[in-house]
Chain A
């Protein structure tokens, strides 16, 4: 059954009300953005900062430092080279890329406690990462801001694992047994509001917050901001790239979100030609 057509079970309805109440009251705990990730983001945007500062910051978190070095040495980023120091890696990849790596490492799927759904959350996260990379390419093509597109793409579905964690905790507390479909339905109902809440509490740039607020999974809306439309297109391209199903790419030529972006078929085709590059970057960031 299509999730949109699904009606909540009586058990799930019992949970929906307190869940709604928690959201309305701001009672859902938003995960903290790690200090290192926050600082990396600020450093990348600060014109006066340099590679040494960034290296120092990343070194302060051993697992992050190892993660950055692993990615920096991956074939997607620096083929045929062997980077030995963080500073060297930063010099090679640039502060912007390093902050992206730090951010993706810091807010990965492990940020949430969703027992039994780890694989699902990892999938959501991988899709968000792919969305961010595609949204960035779409933004570049549209001469729009690429940093906003990346961040908005990365965080557009951050509310999913956040609400899932709350649903699981609440169900356990109230000893309510939910079906898989109940959980998905509740998640779909509330994830967007949670995404908005997370980016607001993380004090993301205004345009990122606006893009995520304007983003709807229903892409029939033609009056979207360019940034929100870029996230929707990025998300659809990501789905197309990640799915195992055989999908005719022509479905991507008629996405309603292409209209506010003025992306004509030949331009969509040109963008999709970058699939291999995006896949390599995704593998790099996910390694």
Chain B
């Protein structure tokens, strides 16, 4: 097939983090690229329904929490009739700036933007249906699927977006509720539960697992649960939810398997996300979803069809915006034969709960399983001058090292600033530096980075002699 038969060298479906980076990478390599987006707004769920809106709310929740903590400085009380729009006051501004930046980036790189719903006709042909019903068909040599994900709705949870919300609709509430039940113990559930609790909402988190955020180090989850409870939140683990319903009057009722009944004004169901593939008609391209409802790819992010790649949430974990961006870039590079290094497995996880949590590398348990003996160094933010000054005393930093106390196997933090400070540990690990680097290096004082030195000294003291 000759190049002239194609409208584009590459067509990217979805404009989230993965889609954007793949489109820009290909365009920078001189390719003729278009990006099809279902939504009139550019950026995907990450920008408009997830990461950015929840973080904007979080910033105000932190302010509220700090003002309450510093009652001597500000006699503060959040009114019962506080509108959500007040609490995400800067969201519109943030989104508009972000949207403008992304559009300009696409325009600068001559990436064509198409607003419409894409579906496969065959492996090189895409039908694009516009909102008004107009249909166009385009052909591209390479297609990258970066359609992201949407919230999963369990059969027993009648989400109505009025009393019972999912993670895409929770911020549409008009007023801050007095109470909120959060179903789930994953990242989204933990973030929203702690944010709303910090805002003074009585939050009850319910999940079938014993602890929230089970993939994290035990000390991190323990710190999170402790901080959540201290703010007044309730964690109910090992609990299966059988039925949820709006009582028709004023409360959402959650019935648990053991007979426990939880009543709250609103409910958030955060039961994971599903790949957004329903409209794609993958079968027309010779593709199918796997048993997890995701698109399978090889190490080059290529699907079962040679000219089709996939990146981001649609291929499954880690489902982080950061990882999706890199997957998108790599998918393009792989298609174009641009030489790239091996994708680092050292992807930090950042959880924007209150307190913030972050980790890179192995947890203590994982390290024990893989390496046998290990040495763990710990630093409490309450021992760090910066932590004390800013009242950020509930945090911890943990370094997991090998049995000799030399090689860094993992770094994890809880506490404000964690998602930034973790990168020091990540860089040390990427450079294959020993734990000693934290002892021998001089950091600014007072900073949270000092915690690395304290944890490293803890390891030094435990080294075999």
Q: Which residues of A contact B (CB under 8 A)?
A: 42, 45-51, 90-96, 139-140, 143-148, 205-207, 222, 253-254, 258-260, 262-265
Contacts and interface: CB of A to CB of B under 8 A. Distances in A.
Contacts of B265: 47
Given A91-B248, A146-B161, A48 B81 contact: no
A47 B80 contact: yes
User: For chain B, what secondary structure do more than half of its interface residues adopt (helix, strand, loop), or is it mixed?
Assistant: loop
Contacts of A47: 80, 177-179, 250, 265
Contact of B132 (A95, A140, A253): A253
Contacts of B40: 222, 259-260, 262
A258 B248 CA distance: 31
A51 B249 contact: yes
Nearest to A45: B175
B162 interface: yes
A51 B246 CA distance: 15
Contacts of A259: 40, 115, 131-132
A207 B92 CA distance: 12
A96 B160 CA distance: 14
A48 B248 contact: no
Interface string B15-40: 00000000000000000000000111
A206 B249 CA distance: 25
Contacts of A92: 248
A95 B133 contact: no
A264 B248 contact: no
A143 B161 contact: yes
Nearest to B172: A145
Contacts of B248: 91-94
Contacts, number: 85
A43 B418 CA distance: 42
B56 interface: no
A207 B249 contact: no
A148 B40 CA distance: 21
A2 B354 CA distance: 59
B117 interface: yes
A92 to B, nearest CB: 6
Interface in B35-59: 38-40, 49
Contacts of A90: 249
Q: Which 8 A-B pairs have the closest CB atoms?
A: A47-B178, A143-B169, A145-B172, A254-B132, A265-B133, A94-B248, A146-B162, A259-B131
B178 A95 contact: no
Contact of B81 (A45, A207, A253, A263): A45
Nearest to A148: B174
A262 B38 contact: yes
Interface string B69-83: 000000000001101
A48 B131 contact: no
A268 to B, nearest CB: 9
A91 B249 contact: yes
A205 B174 contact: yes
Nearest to B38: A262
B129 interface: yes
B168 interface: yes
Given A95-B250, A260-B40, A143 B179 contact: no
A150 B460 CA distance: 64
A82 B88 CA distance: 44
A181 B230 CA distance: 67
B132 A258 contact: yes
Interface in B96-118: 115, 117
A139 B168 CA distance: 13
Given A140-B160, A143-B172, A262-B39, A94 B250 contact: yes
